[in-house]
Amino acid sequence: MPQEVLQLRLLGVLVRHFWSSATQYIISRLRSECPRIGPHSSCAAWPYSGRYVSPMLPPGRPARPLCPTASPASSELAGTASGTTPPRRHAVHATPLRRYVMRCCERACMSELSFRTPLQMDFSPCHSVLAGKTVLLGVTGSIAAYKAADIASSLQKLGVTTHAVLTAAAQEFITPLTLQTLTRNRVITQQFDIGVEMNVEHVALAKAADLLLIAPATANVIAKLAHGLCDDFLSTTALATRAQLVVCPAMNTNMLEHPATQQNLSILRGRGAVVVASQTGMLACGDVGDGKLAPVQLIVDRVAALLLGGTSLAGKTVVVSAGPTLEDFDPFRFLSNNSSGKMGRDIARACEMLGARVHLVAAESYPGFGGVWTKTRSAADMHAALMADFPVADFVFMAAAVSDFSPVRSDRKLKKTEEAAEMRRTRDILAEMGAAKTHQVLCGFAAETENLRAYGEDKLRRKNLDFIAVNQIGGAVGFQSSSNEIMLLDRLGGEHHSGVMDKLDIARWLVQIVTAAK
Q: Look over the chain and give the mean of its residue pLDDT values, rounded to a whole number.
A: 78
Indicate the Cα dihedral angle 343, 348, 353, 354, nearest 10°. Answer: 110
Contact 164, 185 (CB under 8 A): yes
* Residue 176 pLDDT greater than 60, yes or no: yes
pLDDT given at position 380: 94
Contact 344, 371 (CB under 8 A): no
d(CA 37, CA 39): 7
Confidence of residue 165 (pLDDT cuts 50, 70, 90): very high
In order, the DSSP letters of 43-72 are -EEETTTTEEE-TTSPTTPPPPBSSTT--H
Cβ-count burial 330-364 (b if 16+ within 10 Å, e if not): eeeebbebebbbbbbbbbbbbbbbbbbbbbbbbbe
Angle 412-418-424 (CA atoms, 0-180°, nearest 5)? 75
Contacts of 398 (CB under 8 A, 6+ apart): 321, 386, 429, 430, 433, 442, 443, 444, 445
Confidence of residue 5 (pLDDT cuts 50, 70, 90): low
Confidence of residue 10 (pLDDT cuts 50, 70, 90): low
Neighbour tally for 230: CB within 10 Å = 16
Strand ranges for 270-398 from DSSP E:
274-275, 279-282, 288-292, 317-322, 327-328, 334-335, 357-362, 372-375, 395-398
Of all helices (H) and strands (E), which one includes residue 223? helix 219-227
* Amino acid sitting at position 319: V
The domain defined by 134-305 carries CATH number 3.40.50.1950: yes
d(CA 176, CA 189): 8
Backbone angles phi, psi at 56, to 5 degrees: -100, 0
Q: What is the DSSP letter of 324?
A: B
Partners of 46 in the β-ladder: 51
By annotation, the residues acting in catalysis are 285
Q: One fold for both 134-305 and 312-515?
A: yes
d(CA 428, CA 407): 16
* Residue 251 pLDDT greater than 90, yes or no: yes
Confidence of residue 62 (pLDDT cuts 50, 70, 90): very low
Partners of 407 in the β-ladder: 423
d(CA 230, CA 191): 10
Percent of the chain having pLDDT more than 90?
A: 47
Give the mean model confidence (pLDDT) for residues 82-99.
44
Percent of the chain having pLDDT more than 70?
A: 71
Domain boundaries, the chain: 45-122, 134-305, 312-515
* Amino acid sitting at position 414: L
Of all helices (H) and strands (E), which one includes residue 389? helix 379-389
Closest Cα to residue 454, out of 413, 418, 495?
A: 495
d(CA 41, CA 105): 12
Residue 188 exposure: Cα atoms within 13 Å on the Cβ side: 25
312-515 to CATH, choices 3.30.1180.20, 3.40.50.10300, 3.30.70.580, 3.40.50.300: 3.40.50.10300
- Per residue in 297-342, pLDDT (tens digit) is 889 988 988 887 766 788 899 999 999 999 988 888 888 888 888 9
* Amino acid sitting at position 363: A
d(CA 184, CA 155): 12
